[in-house]
Amino acid sequence: MDRMPAWADAVLVPLISLLLAAFLSALVIIAIGENPIDAFKLMVDGALMRSSGWGYTLYYATNFIFTGLAVAVAFHARMFNIGGEGQAMIGGLGVALVCLYIPWPHWSLALLGSCLGAAIFGAAWALIPAYLQARRGSHIVITTIMFNFIAAAFLNYVLVNLLRPVGAMDPATAKFPEATHLPTFQDMFSTAASPMFRGAPANVTFFLALLACLLVWLLIWRTRLGYEIRALGHSEPAARYAGINPVRTVIIAMLISGGLAGLMSVNTTQGEAERLILNSIEGAGFIGIAVALMGRNHPLGVLLAAMLFGFLYQGGAELALWTNIPRELIVVIQALVILFTGALDNMVRIPLERIFLAFRRGNS
Amino acid sequence: MSGLTNGGRPDQAAPVAPAIELKGISKAFGPVQANKDISIRVMPGTIHGIIGENGAGKSTLMSILYGFYKADAGEIFIHGKKTEIPDSQAAIAAGIGMVFQHFKLVENFTVLENVILGAEDGPLLRPSLAKARGVLKQLAAEYELNVDPDALIQNLSVGHQQRVEILKSLYRQADILILDEPTGVLTPAEADHLFRILDNLRREGKTIILITHKLREIMEITDTVSVMRRGEMTATVKTSETDPPHLAELMVGRKVLLRVDKKPATPGKNVLEVRNLRVVDDKGVERLKGIDLTVRAGEIVGIAGVSGNGQSELLEVLGGYADGTGEIIMNGESLDLTGKHSDGQSRRARGIAHVPEDRQREGLIMDYFAWENAAFGYHRDPRFRSGILTNNRAMIEDTERKIKKFDVRPPNPYLTAKNFSGGNQQKIVVAREIERDPDLLLVGQPTRGVDIGAIEFIHQQIVALRDEGKAILLVSVELDEILSLSDRIAVMFDGKIMGERLPDETDQKELGLLMAGIEGDPDKPLIEAVDEQLHAKEAREAKKNG
């Protein structure tokens, strides 16, 4: 076999890619006259060394886990769902409606309800592109990206004209009732003696995200549906031969994908803002693509990649706060990470593969 | 093939430098040694056959000669001169032309445009086209390489497209021609014509290397034959001094049964009845034009025909993944041909198992493990389920059993399908389908790209299933396979069944005529009759395409 071992593929390649991205980022930081080592320290301090930093890192990671899983599930059916952004927005609408118009007695029930609302609304937003792809052959990339814009415009309309409380100036819903507020990490882990995660937005939804990772893993590798989704993704002629209905399977995979993207809104809308605002997604739908790419569409990989991007988001915010490094540079660093771990994957993989083969030939 | 002569060849005893001499060629892909210290001499004006199983290293060797790969070690001499061939440009400059198994033609260009493509004389096309027209005319007269220079490639028959490939090489002044499995897509008559062309080329002093896995072709046309096995050149012999069993033994490394041992069939009741079956593809072309066919229990019905005459569509409709009209009756009950129950799952439930024509495209998921593939299509079987989850343990155990019974190598259920050789991939598919104990087995090209050893085994399994009283419908483009396996032969041409024959009462020639759509006119010379038919078909299609 002219292959390198699986561990090298799964661990070494992304690690080296990351180091390369970090190295280039360091060069950029030097170029604007800051010290990259100090900057890195600041990022680690801000994102990982304090519990409130973790509280932000995990909050962002929760978003990225959901959108990353969404992209991953669709990708197993070879559907490139880049509409996570729009599906999450519409999912947010579902959360808002559930929280605002149903009198929940307790947050746990409200959470169940809002999850259902988010998933159904997100899935519904993915349904039309899925149908158009499966039945009409309209390319999913085109339709989902268009649906992002439609979602934004639609949400804008709904917030401004329908859900905005009378007299309010900003395009947002009213605050959700107290009973629907989710416990944050601060509520859960602080004791009177030692406050933890103070002021951080991480909340119980993070555990939902972990659960989603497990469920997606089961779905993809331990159910008939997952077996059929993967089969269809690898080869449509083979799927048809085996009696797998391509139209049905594509649509189901996209519904699950959209549902997962929608679930992200539970975290931002019910967990953090406690009302639906216009721009609650903040590009997490797109970050999900990078997360899935870097995590090789495997739930565990998605989880790790989401943590990394959570760290970059929070660490980046710290940088912008405490140094002269402008906010835009953080975007540059994130872009470099995406570029190296995703798009330039083969740049690292192929030389590494050669080295491994040379070693093996030397040994044999 | 009686018309062939070996006359006009230069005397090989004369001190002529070989047209091609390879010395000590080695090439490894990772740990796989594709070519090991290969040396070969091909004399000018001869046809040199290279025969070997799939994966023996024939194509790698020719790719090195044509500049696609760089050899790790070894030297190439062309007409006695040491030559470096770093790319295909260098190969063309050295006078080497290659006709690939899959043609490299631009479908919507004319013959002339294809011929000059990459060999234009200047920025303006007109002078090049005019020159090519003249050259083509001359070549046509010289070698019987007749093709309409203004026809679009997409309107030409496969045989004519192949001629265009040869013309392309000759136009580039090649005097050494390499043909990679050239007859795979041809009718017997087209193959005959090709061999006449090759014979003419040889007579004019061209050197030809013919890569094939068909022993018959080697015996028919070559002067010398080299046998490759597992990357090594195991023997080079004069064709006149060898015979097929000996060559087969050299290829496989052990004695091989070239004929299938089987008892006469004892057919029972009708299992499959097909009546007036029609299929229209998504471009609106009618692919099946009213097929009537019966397959009884305990018999093998072989469908012969050149590929692309509706055999694939027939299998697809029977297998449940293409729509059709007409009637298919399985064990006395009509099958749903368009509706909800027209899919692979419903067909399997009715006792139809299917070894598809293309195992890599349809029969297997190449990135799935062997154990996932061994349940493919039957993955909804309750045996493979526990609750809402799949029972992977059960699938793996089932696979281990099949691997053992069908001698799949390596016997490792955790290997992905793409890591098995063609023969072992096919064994996985055949095992999966046969082990379901179906009433009817559909088999498409069961031994395409399968090594001789595995062919023998797969044929035995199919015959054994027949002897258990199952009905078998075999589709193959290999006439030898059809003749040796079938108890009844139906020949397909242009979406119709041209006729049925019993294998003992027919021969390659008669079947070949039927395959070309001719119902037998013994007075007419074979080649003319076939050419006439093909021209008529081309004209029809050209008209259809506007």
Question: Would you say A204 and A111 are in contact if contact means Cβ atoms under 8 Å apart?
Answer: yes
From chain B, pick out residues whose CB is under 8 angstroms from the CB of A215.
none
Reduced to 3 states (helix: H, G, I; strand: E, B; else coil), residue B189 is helix
In sequence order, the β-bridge partners of residue B232 are B229
Q: Which residue from A68, A67, A83, A18 is spatially nearest to A312, judged by alpha carbons?
A: A18
Q: How many other C-beta atoms lie within 10 A of the C-beta of residue B139?
A: 19
Interchain CB contact of A224 with B (< 8 Å)? yes
Beta pairing class for B440-444 and B352-355: parallel
DSSP B29-97: ETTEEEEEEEEEEE-TT-EEEEEE-TTSSHHHHHHHHTTSS--SEEEEEETTEE----SHHHHHHTTEE
Q: Which residue from A106, A111, A101 is spatially nearest to A263, judged by alpha carbons?
A: A111
Range of the domain at A173: 38-186+200-349
Q: Whole-angstrom Cα distance, residue B432 to residue B353?
A: 9
Question: Would you say B426 and B446 are in contact if contact means Cβ atoms under 8 Å apart?
Answer: yes
pLDDT at A23 over 60: yes
Reduced to 3 states (helix: H, G, I; strand: E, B; else coil), residue B200 is helix
B317: nearest CA in chain A?
A241
The CATH number of residue A211's host domain is 1.10.3470
Q: Whole-angstrom Cα distance, residue A288 to residue A55?
A: 20
Q: Token pair of A305, please?
A: 């990649």
pLDDT at B13 over 60: no
pLDDT of residue A327: 74
Q: Token pair of B493, please?
A: 């041409």
What distance separates the 2 farthest-apart alpha carbons in chain A? 78
Q: Whole-angstrom Cα distance, residue A362 to residue A221?
A: 37
Interface mutation target, options B315, B362, B367, B420, chain A, most CBs of A under 10 Å: B362
Each residue's pLDDT tens digit, A165-191: 988 889 999 999 999 999 999 999 988
pLDDT at B3 over 70: no
Interchain CB contact of A231 with B (< 8 Å)? yes
pLDDT of residue A12: 83
Beta pairing class for B176-180 and B207-212: parallel
Burial category of A141 from C-beta neighbours within 10 Å (exposed 0-12, middle 13-18, buried 19 and up): middle
| A162, part of any domain | yes
In sequence order, the β-bridge partners of residue B195 are none
Q: A132 or A10, which is more confident?
A: A132
The overall average pLDDT reported for chain B is: 87
Interface mutation target, options A1, A221, A223, A227, chain B, most CBs of B under 10 Å: A227
Interface mutation target, options A241, A247, A359, chain B, most CBs of B under 10 Å: A241
Interface touch A241/B319, C-beta < 8 Å: yes
Question: Would you say A62 and A205 are in contact if contact means Cβ atoms under 8 Å apart?
Answer: yes
From chain A, pick out residues whose CB is under 8 angstroms from the CB of B32.
2
B419: nearest CA in chain A?
A1
pLDDT of residue A3: 62
Interface touch A243/B362, C-beta < 8 Å: no
Q: Please give the helix or strand (H or E) that residue A209 lies within, else none.
A: helix A205-222
Interchain CB contact of A2 with B (< 8 Å)? yes
Question: Would you say B319 and A241 are in contact if contact means Cβ atoms under 8 Å apart?
Answer: yes
Crossing angle for the helix pair A299-322 and A36-44, nearest 10 degrees?
120
Mean pLDDT on A94-98 = 97
Which residues of chain B are at the A interface, by a Cβ-Cβ cutoff of 8 Å?
A: 29-32, 319-321, 343-348, 354, 356, 358, 361-368, 372, 376-377, 379-380, 385, 388-390, 392, 419
Q: Please give the helix or strand (H or E) that residue B107 lies within, else none.
A: none
The gap between the terminal CA atoms of chain A, to the nearest Å, is 13
Q: Please give the helix or strand (H or E) that residue B485 lies within, else none.
A: helix B479-485
pLDDT of residue B9: 47
Q: What is the CA radius of gyration of chain A?
A: 22
Mean pLDDT on B516-540 = 60
In sequence order, the β-bridge partners of residue A158 are none
From chain A, pick out residues whose CB is under 8 angstroms from the CB of B354.
241
Question: Would you say A97 and A272 are in contact if contact means Cβ atoms under 8 Å apart?
Answer: no
From chain A, pick out residues whose CB is under 8 angstroms from the CB of B419.
1
Question: A301 vs chain B: nearest CA distance in angstroms?
Answer: 19
Mean pLDDT on B329-334 = 94
Q: Whole-angstrom Cα distance, residue A115 to residue A327?
A: 33
Question: B376 vs chain A: nearest CA distance in angstroms?
Answer: 6
Length of chain B: 546
Closest partner residue to B361 among A238, A245, A364, by Cβ?
Answer: A238
From chain A, pick out residues whose CB is under 8 angstroms from the CB of B30.
1-2, 357
pLDDT of residue B190: 84
Question: B428 vs chain A: nearest CA distance in angstroms?
Answer: 15
Reduced to 3 states (helix: H, G, I; strand: E, B; else coil), residue B278 is strand
Mean pLDDT on A207-231 = 97
The domain tally of chain A equals 1
| A137, part of any domain | yes
pLDDT of residue B12: 47
Closest partner residue to A243 among B343, B364, B392, by Cβ?
Answer: B343
Q: Whole-angstrom Cα distance, residue B242 to residue B219?
A: 8
Interface touch A243/B29, C-beta < 8 Å: no
pLDDT of residue B365: 96
Q: Token pair of B281, please?
A: 């593809």
Interchain CB contact of A120 with B (< 8 Å)? no
Each residue's pLDDT tens digit, B173-218: 999 999 988 887 777 788 888 999 999 999 999 999 999 877 888 8
Question: A18 vs chain B: nearest CA distance in angstroms?
Answer: 28
Closest partner residue to B365 among A223, A231, A243, by Cβ?
Answer: A231
Q: Which residue from A313, A349, A318, A348 is spatially nearest to A333, judged by alpha carbons?
A: A313
Interface touch B320/A231, C-beta < 8 Å: no
Question: Would you say A145 and A81 are in contact if contact means Cβ atoms under 8 Å apart?
Answer: no
Mean pLDDT on A265-291 = 93
Closest partner residue to A242 among B376, B388, B392, by Cβ?
Answer: B376
Mean pLDDT on B19-47 = 89
Handedness of CA B527, B486, B305, B519 (dihedral sign): positive
Give the contacts of B272 (CB within 8 A, at least 6 positions apart): B293, B294, B295, B318, B328, B329, B330, B440, B471, B473
| A334, part of any domain | yes
Q: Is the peptide bond before B522 cis (omega within 30 degrees of 0)?
A: no
**Cα dihedral B339→B345→B349→B353 (10° resolution):** 110
User: Alpha carbon of B403 to those of B99, B415, B450, B453, B479: distances in Å?
Assistant: 38, 12, 17, 16, 29
pLDDT at A44 over 60: yes
Question: B318 vs chain A: nearest CA distance in angstroms?
Answer: 11
Closest partner residue to A234 among B347, B365, B379, by Cβ?
Answer: B365
A242: nearest CA in chain B?
B377
Share of chain A above pLDDT 70, in %: 98
Each residue's pLDDT tens digit, B218-254: 888 999 999 988 888 988 999 999 888 888 888 877 7
From chain A, pick out residues whose CB is under 8 angstroms from the CB of B367.
234
Interchain CB contact of A343 with B (< 8 Å)? no
Share of chain A above pLDDT 90, in %: 67
Q: Classify domain B260-351+438-506 at the CATH class level.
A: alpha beta
Closest partner residue to A243 among B344, B361, B367, by Cβ?
Answer: B344
Domain locations along chain B: 260-351+438-506, 363-436, 516-546
Question: A216 vs chain B: nearest CA distance in angstroms?
Answer: 12
